[in-house]
Structure 1
Amino acid sequence: MKNVDYIIVGDGYAALFFAHQLIQNDKSFVIFSEGRKSASQVSAGIINPVVLKKFTTFWLAQEQIDILKKSLDEIQSYTGKNYLIDTPIHRVFHDENEQKLWLKKSDNEDLSAFLDKEFQHLDGINNPFNTGKVNQSARLNVSDFFNDFFDYFKRNEQLISERFDYSQLNISESAYKDVSFKHIIFCEGMGVKDNPYFSDIAVIPNKGHHIRVKLSEAIQSNVTIKKKHFLFPVNNGLYFYGGTYDREQLHHHIDDSAVEQLIKGLSEVYPHDFEVSEINFGFRPTVRDRRPIVGHHSSHKNLYVINGLGARGILNGCYFSKSLYQFIEEGTPLPDEVSISRFK
Structure 2
Amino acid sequence: MENVDYIIVGDGYAALFFAHQLIKNNKSFVLYSEGKKSASQVSAGIINPVVLKKFTTFWKAQEQIDFLKHSLKEIETYTGKNYLIEAPIHRIFHDENEQNLWLKKSGNEDLINFLDKDFKHLDVVKNSFNTGEVNQSARLDVNNFFGDFFTYFENNSHLIKEKFDYSKLNTSENTYKNISFKNILFCEGMGVKDNPYFSDIAVIPNKGHHIKVKLSTPIPENITIKKKHFLFPTYNGLYFYGGTYDREQLHHHIDDSAVEQLVKGLSEFYPYDFEVEEVNFGFRPTVKDRRPIIGRHYQNKNLYVFNGLGARGILNGCYFSKSLYEFIENDIPLDEEVSLDRFKETN
- TM range, smaller chain: over 0.9
> Which residue is 1:256 aligned to?
256
Shift of 1:214: 0.3
Residues 131-175 of structure 1: per-residue CA shift (max 9 Å, x gap): 000000000000000000000000001100000000000001010
Aligned twin of 2:196: 196
How far is 1:104 from its partner? 0.4
Residue aligning to 2:86: 86
Amino acid at match of 2:300: H
1:220 aligns with 2:220: yes
Q: Report the counterpart of residue 289 of structure 1 in structure 2.
A: 289
In 2, the alpha carbon distance for the partners of 1:125 and 1:85 equals: 21
Aligned residue in 2 for 1:307 = 307
Match of 2:140 in 1: 140
Structure 2: how far apart are the matches of 1:40 and 1:159? 18
Say whether residues 1:338 and 2:338 are aligned partners.
Answer: yes
Aligned residue type for 2:262: L
C-alpha distance after superposition, 1:209-242 (max 9, x if no partner): 0000000112222100000000000011100000
Matched, 1:238 2:245: no
Distance of 1:156 and 1:323 partners within structure 2: 25
Match of 2:149 in 1: 149
Counterpart of 1:120? 120
Q: Secondary structure at the match of 2:241?
A: strand
Alignment partners' CA distance in 2, 1:189 and 1:177: 23
Secondary structure, in 3 states, of the residue corresponding to 1:289?
A: coil
User: SS of the counterpart of 1:69?
Assistant: helix
SS of the residue aligned with 1:240? Answer: strand
Structure 2 match to 1:186: 186
AA in 1 matched with 2:245: Y
Does 2:46 match 1:21? no
What letter is aligned with 2:201? I
Counterpart residue identity of residue 240, structure 1: F
1:63-114 per-residue CA deviation (whole Å, 9 max, x = no partner) reads: 0001100000000000000000000000000001100000000000000000
- TM-score of the superposed pair, with normalisation by structure 2: 0.99
In structure 1, the partner of 2:60 is 60
Which residue is equivalent to 1:163? 163
* TM-aligned CA deviation for residue 269 of structure 1: 1.2
Q: Distance in 1 between matches of 2:49 and 2:13?
A: 17
Paired AA for residue 68 in structure 2: L
How many correspondences in the alignment?
A: 344
What is the letter of the counterpart of residue 148 of structure 1? Answer: D
Paired position in structure 2 for 1:36: 36
Aligned-residue identity in percent: 79
Question: Which residue does the alignment assign to 2:247?
Answer: 247
Shift of 1:202: 0.2
Letter in 2 for 1:63: E
SS in 1 for 2:279: strand
Q: Which runs of 5+ in 1 are unaligned?
A: none
Looking at structure 2, the residues matched to 220 and 82 of structure 1 have their Cα atoms a distance apart, in angstroms, of 21
SS in 2 for 1:104: helix
TM-score (normalised: structure 1): 1.00
Q: Which runs of 4+ in 1 moved over 4 A?
A: none
Match of 1:99 in 2: 99
Letter in 2 for 1:269: F
Q: For the residues of structure 1 that align with 2:161 and 2:19, how far apart are their CA atoms?
A: 16
1:276 aligns with 2:276: yes
Paired AA for residue 21 in structure 2: Q
Structure 2 SS opposite 1:327: helix
Q: Secondary structure of the equivalent of 1:128? A: coil
Secondary structure of 1:314 counterpart: helix
Task: Specify the SS of the correspondent of 1:335.
Answer: coil
Kindly state the Cα deviation for residue 257 of structure 1 after the two structures are TM-superposed: 0.3
RMSD: 0.4
Residue of structure 1 in register with 2:7 after alignment:
7
Deviation by residue 1:168-213 (Cα, 9 ceiling, x = unmatched): 0000101000000000000000000000000000000000000000
For residue 278 of structure 1, give the secondary structure of its aligned residue in structure 2.
strand
Q: Give the whole-Å Cα distance in 1 for the aligned partners of 2:151 and 2:219.
A: 34
Deviation at 1:290, TM superposition (A): 0.4
State the SS of the aligned residue for 2:162.
coil
Q: Distance in 2 between matches of 1:63 and 1:172?
A: 39
Shift of residue 250, structure 1, vs aligned partner: 0.1
Look up the match of 1:208. 208
CA positional deviation for 1:330: 1.2
Residue 55 of structure 2 aligns to a residue whose secondary structure is coil
Task: Name the SS for the 1:182 alignment partner.
Answer: strand
Q: Which residue of 1 aligns with 2:131?
A: 131
Structure 1 residue identity aligned to 2:219:
I
Residues 303-312 or 218-227, more deviating: 218-227
